[in-house]
Amino acid sequence: MDTHIPERLAEMVADGELDAEFMNVESEHSAMAACIGAQATGVRTFTASSSQGIALMWELLHVASGMRLPIVMAVANRSLSAPLNIWNDWSDSIGCRDCGWIQLYCKNAQEAYDTTLQAYRIAEQVLLPVMVCIDGFFLSHTLEPVALDGKGFVGLYKPHVTLDPKHPVSQPERY
Q: Residue 15 sits in a domain of what CATH number?
A: 3.40.50.970
Report the pLDDT value the prediction gives residue 93, as an integer from 0 to 100. Answer: 79
Report the pLDDT value the prediction gives residue 173, as an integer from 0 to 100. Answer: 57
AA identity, residue 174: R
The answer to the question of residue 14 being in a domain is yes
Report the pLDDT value the prediction gives residue 38, as an integer from 0 to 100. Answer: 94
Report the pLDDT value the prediction gives residue 54, as an integer from 0 to 100. Answer: 87
How far apart are the C-alpha atoms of 97 and 84, rounded to whole Å? 23
Overall domain count for the chain: 1
Taking the chain (175 residues) in consecutive chunks of 10 residues, what is each chunk's mean pLDDT? 77 93 92 95 92 89 94 88 71 84 93 94 96 79 80 84 80 57
pTM of the model: 0.88
Domain of residue 83, residue span: 4-135
The answer to the question of residue 128 being in a domain is yes
Report the pLDDT value the prediction gives residue 100, as an integer from 0 to 100. Answer: 94
Contact 79, 87 (CB under 8 A): yes
Q: Is the peptide bond before 6 cis (omega within 30 degrees of 0)?
A: no
How far apart are the C-alpha atoms of 81 and 17, rounded to whole Å? 36
The answer to the question of residue 12 being in a domain is yes
How far apart are the C-alpha atoms of 93 and 150, rounded to whole Å? 27
